[in-house]
């Protein structure tokens, strides 16, 4: 990367405040950036660093008003965080991409491959696999029979995709993720054992889905487990059989969603959340970290927290009272003592 501050401002439809000819060669965190690097300020908690950073330029929101002189060039944009994402995407797109099919890849004869596809060494593609144009399949990826991989999708090393799974366009699957493993289905028998229920459904990922490292998405018992377009899953998430995740929902690490649950579109789910099976979550709901959702949530755009999860203000009131429990307990003991004394009189 080597651009002037003015070039970056023009690309982002922003304005330069300072020396627009200053050359920028990389990115850095605002508190650690070095000369020649570009950083950004979007969280007010980091405002103090804009006066001490060694960065050569800082992306800021248009309404940012410095309280004292700043050394870096300011590039004013509508949304600094979004502008940074656009720049990082541009840099990523300009990196050299691997190409071609490695001689050590193993492809069954019926595999169909589009144009500009990369397949790395020791990757395997089973019978009737379809790989779309410009897809990238990195080393040690397993694609089971009848898997479909959409155009522009990236599958990083060590991903395992079981048979019949459908992956849409421009998806990203990170290392170690497993898509299409059996759902957790077992029927108890009369002699206290468990008989496995065959999982004959599939998993479908629509376009622009991203799956984090070591995340698992189980195949449906029947029908399909469906991850709709634009969903983003963090690392170490468990999505059980027949779950449906709505458009553009994002889920943080260590969350588990039990079988047949349905999550609406545009939801935000924090880390270590648990959602019980066969429950439904309305569109736009936000669930704070470590919460447990055991009932259906019908109201849209709620913010929930706690175990069991309740509207966040109710949870905050509960926490307030919990902190007072020692004092309340002491008052109760004192009242009991006074009642006992009165009863004796």
Give the residue numbers annotated as catalytic, written as ranges: 241
Instruction: State the Cα–Cα distance between residues 250 and 267, nearest whole angstrom.
Output: 6
Please check whether residue 116 is in contact with residue 97, taking contact to mean a CB–CB distance below 8 angstroms. no
- Going by C-alpha positions, the residue among 207, 239, 209, 213 that lies closest to residue 224 is 239
Report the Cα–Cα distance between both ends of the chain, in Å, rounded: 88
For the chain, what is the largest distance between any 2 Cα atoms, rounded to a whole number of angstroms?
98
Q: Give the number of other Cβ atoms within 10 Å of residue 343's Cβ.
A: 7
Length of the chain: 345
Helix axes 312-323, 325-344, angle to 10 degrees: 50
Instruction: State the Cα–Cα distance between residues 181 and 161, nearest whole angstrom.
Output: 8
Phi, psi dihedrals of residue 145, rounded to the nearest 5°: -55, 140
């Amino acid at each position: 990367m080597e651009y002037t501050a003015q070039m970056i401002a023009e690309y982002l439809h922003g304005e330069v405040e300072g020396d627009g000819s200053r050359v920028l060669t990389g990115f850095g965190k605002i508190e650690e950036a070095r000369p020649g690097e570009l950083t950004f300020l979007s969280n007010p908690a980091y405002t103090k660093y804009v006066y001490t950073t060694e960065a050569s330029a800082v992306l800021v929101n248009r309404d940012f008003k410095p309280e004292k002189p700043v050394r870096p060039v300011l590039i004013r944009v509508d949304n600094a965080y979004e502008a940074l994402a656009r720049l990082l995407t541009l840099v990523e797109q300009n990196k050299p991409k691997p190409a071609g099919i490695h001689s050590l890849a193993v492809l069954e004869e019926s595999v169909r491959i589009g144009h500009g596809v990369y397949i790395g060494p020791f990757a395997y593609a089973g019978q009737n696999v379809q790989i779309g144009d410009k897809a990238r399949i990195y080393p040690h990826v397993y694609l089971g029979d009848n898997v479909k991989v959409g155009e522009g999708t990236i599958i990083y090393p060590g991903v395992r995709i079981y048979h019949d799974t459908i992956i849409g366009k421009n998806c990203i699957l990170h290392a170690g993720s497993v898509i299409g493993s059996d759902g957790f289905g077992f029927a108890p028998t009369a002699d206290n054992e468990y008989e496995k229920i065959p999982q004959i459904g599939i998993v479908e990922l629509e376009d622009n889905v991203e799956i984090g490292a070591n995340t698992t998405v189980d195949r449906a018992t029947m029908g399909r487990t469906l991850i709709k377009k634009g969903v983003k899953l963090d690392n170490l998430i468990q999505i059980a059989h027949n779950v449906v995740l709505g458009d553009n929902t994002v889920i943080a690490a260590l969350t588990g969603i039990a079988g047949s649950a349905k999550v609406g579109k545009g939801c935000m789910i924090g880390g270590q959340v648990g959602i019980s099976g066969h429950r439904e979550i309305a569109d736009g709901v936000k669930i704070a970290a470590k919460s447990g959702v055991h009932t259906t949530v019908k109201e849209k755009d709620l913010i929930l927290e706690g175990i069991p999860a309740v509207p966040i203000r109710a949870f905050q009131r509960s926490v307030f009272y919990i902190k007072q429990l020692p004092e309340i307990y002491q008052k109760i003991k004192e009242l009991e003592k006074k009642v006992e004394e009165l009863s004796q009189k």
